[in-house]
Chain A
Amino acid sequence: MNILVIRTHRFGDILQTSPMLRGLREKFPDGKISFLTGSDMTDLVSSNPDVDEVFSIPEKEYRWFLKNRPEQHPRVYNELYDLLSELRGRDFRLIVNRQYEFGAMAAWLVGGVGETRGGTFSPEEGFVFTDDASRELFETIRTDRRRNGRNLVDWGCRIAGVSPGCGDMVFRVPETARSDAGHLLAEGGAKGDDDSLVAVQMGAARSFRQWGAENYTPVIRWLIKDRNKRVVLLGSEDEEGLAETAVRCLGPEGNGVINLTGATDLNTLGGVLERCQYLITGDTGTMHMAAAVGTPILALFYGTAYPWETGPYGAGHFVLYADEPCSPCLVPEGCVCGHRCLKAITPRHVCAAFDIAESMREEGAQSPVWSDETVRLFVTRRQPGSDQVLIPVNDSPEIAEGMSPLPGRRVTNRPNDNGIESAVCAFSGQRDILVRQFCLGDRQSFVDAFSQLIDRLHATVRYLNGSRHGEGHEEILARELMPAIEETHTAFQSEDFVTVLDIVQYRLTSVMESLVRREGFHGTI
Chain B
Amino acid sequence: MSRPEPEHYVAPIEEDELNTMDASELPDRRSNLWFDAWRDLRRRPLFYAAMAITLGVVVMAVFPTLFTSVPPNDNCQLMLGTRGPDLGARAPGHPMGFTLQGCDVYARVVWGARTSLTVGLLVVAISAIIGIPMGALAGFYGGWVDSVLSRIGDIFFSVPYFLAAVVVMTVMSSHKNVWVISLAIGGFAWASLARLLRAEVLQVKNKEFVAASEALGRSKFSTLMRHVLPNSLTPVIVSLTVSLGGAIVAEATLSFLGVGLGSSVMSWGNDISEAQQTIRTAPMALFWPSLFLTVTVLAFIILGELVRDALDPKARARR
Q: Are A and B genuine complex partners?
A: no
